[in-house]
Structures are given as structure tokens and as C-alpha cells.
Amino acid sequence: MYITESNRLDIKNGCILRLTKAPGRCADDLHKGIQSSDGGVRCDSLKELASVSRDVTFAQEFINLDGHNLLVKIVEDSRESNQIMTHTLTSFTELMDHGIVSWENLSAVFIKKIAGFVNSSSTDVSMQQVSLDILENMVLSSRQLFLQVKQEVTMERLVAHLQVANQQIQTKAMALLMALLQAAEDADRQEMFTFLNKKNVRQYIYKDIILSSSPVQDEMAHHLYVLQSVTLNHLETRMRTPLDCYCQEQRDALHGLRQAAFETDSENSLSHERRRSLCAKEFKKLGFSNNSNPGQDLVRTPPGLLALDTMFYFATRYPDAYSRFVLENSSREDKHECPFARSSIQLTLILCEILRIGDPPSETGSSFHPIFFSQDRLLEELFCVCIQLLNKTWKEMRATQEDFDKVMQVVKEQITRTLASKPTSLELFKNKVNALNYSEILKLRQTERLHQEETLAPPVLELKERLKPELLELIRQQRLNRLCQGTMFRKLSSRRRQDKLWYCRLSPNHKMLHYGDVEEDAENPAIETLQDKIPVADIKGLLTGKDCPHMKENKGKQTKEVLDLAFSITYDVEECSLNFIAPSRTDFCLWTDGLSVLLGRDMSSESMRSELEILLSMEIKLRLLDLENVPIPDSAPAVPKPPSNYHFCYDFSQTEQ
């Protein structure tokens, strides 16, 4: 980092400074080197340019010399070797990343060349990787560039890139694909999804990425999460649309449910009133609350028409299971009958909540369901498994109509716990969720309750209070040790997801906070490699959520998920701050607690409270092992009166004499 008037106050005592060329002179030398007639000099100059372009001061000087257009010309001419072209494209990406020059100023020829590198199967892998990166930035920059990239890049090549063994190419191709999908308008997006479905892209992702021998990296996990979210959100329109009683197609679907469950051969011979009475009776058996006008049950949104879609899919896709469900419950007593329609509507709503249908994808989300990529029509297939599970759970609980909400809570827990285990196929999900029966749920709940249970006897509460300081000190030490190990944070920007990483850790003597940029493959960088540091004594405050400076700058653009992970420390004067976005809620709690300890404040995270309760519970149980099955009195036993004399006491002193 070059020292300038704007950043010189950020330099701390003890920082090692290196004397080097001024940014203007360095930019001028590299500008000349790039235009040299010697290929070796050009290659070395571009390699160095790719490295120093990360500094904004140098980037400004180089752009002032019109250096970025020189790089564009090299790409447009395409006369250089693959190595030189790779350095050129990398330098261009780094320069553009500072936002000094707009992406919209690029020529159509340049865009065609970059797209050509991606479309060609003979292009060098490193060139393809950087080219995919450049195209993603273009798509995210403006609608006009999106249209140009969409026109130039063939979707077949993007799909082919997803099938290669190189994880970096897979990730960059997926990033471009997600950028195109998110930037597209509804009609374009639907057209792209139709193409992807036709090419069975989901199966390629499942086979070549999810089931590959290499684990899915964070970057790819985010893109898979976005693809899952964008795809499932196609169902949002149906979810938010109530049933229209005047729509013949929807009325036919409703009557199709009835006709699939009950024999209707003799229906045409009945009078209108008789037929209407029979329909009402059969809709009641199907579990509709409003049996004379069942469409009223589907007016509530969500789940709206989506509930009708899932019921109709189950009835037509698995007619035997559907008939068995309806007829089995028709033969039970009214109060023990599991209402199919009411259960289906509520189950569809539960699945929408679990799969987060209607929620826009988060910038930091990475939790995807492998089962999504293994299965066509995931929601409908999950519904077909879960509605049969619901009937099974209803019988296990011996439920009545009054227990409807309790049964739905158990079913929701069964589905949530099973999906949390990340099943990779529908069959595996089916086996796991059916194995997690009502008795297993009760055992799990009891175990969790025992872990959380606390004895309220006054002596035990007093013992807890005595143990608290010691256990709090243990948690404080753990937090400080965790800060000493350090954490890798990601720099987010509005223009692209794959931003650089930086690492922050506390010095072993707890006096300095060291931080600096690192590469993605750096697992635990040594403290000496982190160039920047802040003395703990200079830290003035800790801010979280919307109070953070980097959240105020993007006010209204950040999701609640990002706000919950944001924290900042202020130092020296109030204007200086170091801004963080934690990788997870756990890391957020660890860092905010650790920084609070350094500032001499009380820890306040939910993680600390949970850990303190667990430690207290364990310690109390260990202390009370000898008192098992012995009732603990609420008050201490009364101390007896002293004896009238102490003649019973033996005097050892006289014996010794």
C-alpha cells in the first residue's frame, strides 16, 4: 500500500516501511514496458502490473496515463501469448475493481474477444478463469452490458464449463450463470431456465460438483444456494395467488381431487341437488373445512394455489397412496380422522417456510440442500413423502382434531431435522424422515430438555451464583484464545461476490490486533505476514449491526442476515474504524465477546449465555452426584442450641502432661 496524504494517518508506530518507486514513476515505467518490442519485457511488466494494480493509488496513476485502454487494445488485437494475455486480463480486472473507470465504457470488440475466450474450448485455463470473472462484473454493472454478454456468451459453453474437473473454472462459470439469472428480467430468466432444464444442468451439478470427490468450497456453496433460491422462487407467484372460484381450470383441479378419491360412475344419473349434496359430503371426507365451497379453503395466501398444485400432483402422481390416505381416514371416527385437505394446506405452508420460498437470496448465504439438485419438482416430491409421513405420525400420536396443531409441529420438526442432515437423494430423505418417528422426536426433545433443565432449589441457585465467576473467566479465556487463533473474513462489494479475503488475529500478549489481506488457500497465516495492526489500548468502542459505519454507508441495501453478522471497532478518533462481516453467527459471537473482554466490558452474546448455562448445568450435576434421589430442602436446617456444659469434651493437654 502506497502512503498518501489520505491514508498516512492510518500508519501505526512499529509498521515496517519500504522505500520504493513513487506510484507515478512506477506507472510510467510499466506503461513503457508494456509497449516494449521485447516479448520478455512485456511479459514481466504485465506480471508486475497485475500485482501492483491492487493498490488504488497506483491504479489511479496508471489510469491517468490511459493505461487501461492500452490493456484493452492488447486484448482486442489478441496477438500475444497465453501467458501475456493472462497477465493482461488479470491487470485489467484489478484496475477495474477500484471503480475508477466505468465498465460501460468498454467497446463491443473487447466484449466479443472476452466472450470468445470463454466460448473457445482451446483457450488456456487461466485465461478462461479471468475472462469469466470479467464477464460476471460486466453483467452486474448495467442492463446494456447484460444484454451484450447474454448475446455473445453461449449457454452451451457455460454448461460445459460446469462439467470440467477444474474447481476454479466451475466456480467462475457458476458465478457468471448466477449473475445472468439474477440480472435477467422475468421473461429472459424463464427462457434461460427452460434451456438449463433442457440441458439437464441440475444433473451435471449434482454429479460433477456435489458428488465429486472434492468438497464444495464456500464460493461454490453460495452460488448453489442462489440457484436453489432463484429456482424455488418461481413458485412464489402461485404461493401468493388465491384460488379463483370463477376459474374453470382451478375448479376442475378441485373436482379432480374428489373424483380421484371416490367412484363417480353413477354421478351423472343423479339430480342436480342430489349431486351437489354428494359432492359436499365427499369434499368433507377429503378434509375441506368449507365442504359446500371448498375453494374458500384455498383463498388464504400463502400457500394459495400452491397447495392445490401439491395436492393434485400427489393425487395424479401417486394415485394408490392418495386413495389409501383418503379411504383410510374416511373409515375412522370423525374425531380421529386426519383431514387430507387441511393437512395438505398447512404442510405446503410449512415446506414453503423451510425452503424459504419467496425470500430473496442473501449475499452471504451458502446453505443449500443437495436433494434439490437430485430431484425434479422438489417441492411436490417432498410433499408426497411428507403427507404420508403426516398420516403415519397422526396414527402414532393417536391424534384427534384438537391435536392438529401439535401434529403439524411434530411433522415440521421431523422435516427440519432430516433436511439438516443434508440428504443427497429423495430416497435417503424418505428413509431418514420415516425413521424419525414420534417416539424418537419425544426422546430427542427429552434429551434437549434435560440439557437445558435447571434446578430451582435456593441452595442450588446459590451454588450457581458462586460458580458463575469461575466459569465466566473460563469463557473469557476461551474467547481470547479464539481471537489469538484468528478468523478469515470476506470483503463484500456490490459488484461481485468473489472479493479478496482478509485475516485478523490477536497477538499472544493480547496487546495488538493484527490484520491483512490473504489468499483463499491461506488457512492460518503467521502473525508476521499480517502487515497492519491496531494497539488494543487505542480501541475506543465496539459497534454492531446497523450502527456500524459500513452498514450506514449501504443503508437499505443490506439484508437482515448481513446486519446480524456486522460489527466494527473504532480506534484513535471516532472517524477511524475496522469493519467486519463475520462468516457465521458463531464467529460473530466469539469476536464480539472477545473484543468486549479486551475493552473490559461484560460479554453479552447469546452464545456466551448458552455456553454458561451448559457449563453451569454440567458443574451442578457433578457437584450433586452424591445427592441423587435425596431431596434438597429449600432452607438450611436449624442449628441446634449449644449444650448446657462441655464435660463430654476430652482434654488432650492433660494426657500429654
CA dist 655 → 650, 651, 652 (Å): 10, 7, 5
Q: What value does the mean pLDDT take over residues 129-158?
A: 91
Strand 501-506's sheet: what is its strand order?
487-490, 501-506, 512-518, 532-535
Residues of the chain with CATH 1.25.10.10: 20-212
Amino acid residing at 410 = V
> Which option is the CATH number for 20-212: 1.10.1040.10, 1.10.340.30, 1.20.140.10, 1.25.10.10?
1.25.10.10
Please report the pLDDT score of residue 410 as a whole number. 95
Q: What value does the mean pLDDT take over residues 231-235?
A: 93
Please classify residue 244 by burial: count the beta carbons closer than 10 Å to its beta carbon, then call 0-12 exposed, 13-18 middle and 19+ buried. Answer: middle
Rounded distance between C-alpha atoms, residue 287 and residue 322, angstroms: 13
Angle of helix 108-119 relative to helix 125-141, nearest 10 degrees, comes to 130
In sequence order, what are the beta bridge partners of 516? 503
How big is the chain, counted in residues?
657
Please report the pLDDT score of residue 484 as a whole number. 94
How many contiguous H segments (helices) and E segments (strands) does the chain have? 30, 7
Rounded distance between C-alpha atoms, residue 9 and residue 21, angstroms: 21
In sequence order, what are the beta bridge partners of 502? 489, 517
Residue among 420, 372, 423 at smallest CA distance from 229: 372
| Strand, helix or coil for residue 423 | coil
Q: What is the maximum span of the chain, computed from C-alpha positions, in angstroms?
A: 123
Segment (H or E) for 502: strand 501-506
* Of 12-16, 503-507, 588-592, minimum mean pLDDT range: 12-16
* Of 449-458, 521-530, 597-606, minimum mean pLDDT range: 449-458
Checking if the pLDDT of 536 tops 50, the result is yes
Report percent pLDDT > 70 for the chain: 92
Residue among 302, 291, 381 at smallest CA distance from 341: 291
Checking if the pLDDT of 532 tops 50, the result is yes
Please report the pLDDT score of residue 454 as a whole number. 47
Q: Strands 566-571, 532-535: parallel, antiparallel or unpaired by DSSP? A: unpaired
Q: How far is CA 382 from the centre of its chain?
A: 21
Give the pTM: 0.70
Which top CATH class is 472-609?
Answer: mainly beta
Q: What value does the mean pLDDT take over residues 80-94?
A: 92
Q: Which residues touch 70 (CB under 8 Å, ≥6 apart)?
A: 31, 34, 35
Checking if the pLDDT of 602 tops 90, the result is yes
Checking if the pLDDT of 271 tops 80, the result is no
Judge if the upstream peptide bond of residue 642 is cis by omega within 30 degrees of 0: no
Q: What value does the mean pLDDT take over residues 166-179?
A: 92
Amino acid residing at 423 = P
Give the dihedral of Cα atoms 168, 493, 491, 360; nearest 10 deg: -80
Report percent pLDDT > 90 for the chain: 51
Please report the pLDDT score of residue 245 as a whole number. 87
Average pLDDT, the chain: 87
Most confident of 72-81, 417-426, 625-634: 417-426
Residues of the chain with CATH 2.30.29.30: 472-609
Rounded distance between C-alpha atoms, residue 76 and residue 504, angstroms: 41
Please classify residue 354 by burial: count the beta carbons closer than 10 Å to its beta carbon, then call 0-12 exposed, 13-18 middle and 19+ buried. Answer: middle
First-to-last alpha carbon distance for the chain, in angstroms, is: 88
Please report the pLDDT score of residue 404 as a whole number. 93
Please report the pLDDT score of residue 403 as a whole number. 92
* Of 509-518, 565-574, 594-603, minimum mean pLDDT range: 565-574
Please classify residue 653 by burial: count the beta carbons closer than 10 Å to its beta carbon, then call 0-12 exposed, 13-18 middle and 19+ buried. Answer: exposed
Q: What value does the mean pLDDT take over residues 26-40?
A: 91
Residue among 575, 422, 555 at smallest CA distance from 566: 555
Q: What value does the mean pLDDT take over residues 270-279?
A: 77
Please classify residue 495 by burial: count the beta carbons closer than 10 Å to its beta carbon, then call 0-12 exposed, 13-18 middle and 19+ buried. Answer: middle
CA dist 472 → 510, 577, 602, 610 (Å): 18, 28, 10, 12
How is residue 401 annotated by DSSP?
G
Checking if the pLDDT of 498 tops 80, the result is no
Please report the pLDDT score of residue 335 as a whole number. 79
Higher pLDDT, 438 or 2: 438
* Of 251-260, 316-325, 357-366, 648-657, minimum mean pLDDT range: 648-657
Residue among 328, 405, 288, 325 at smallest CA distance from 397: 405
Q: What value does the mean pLDDT take over residues 594-623?
A: 90
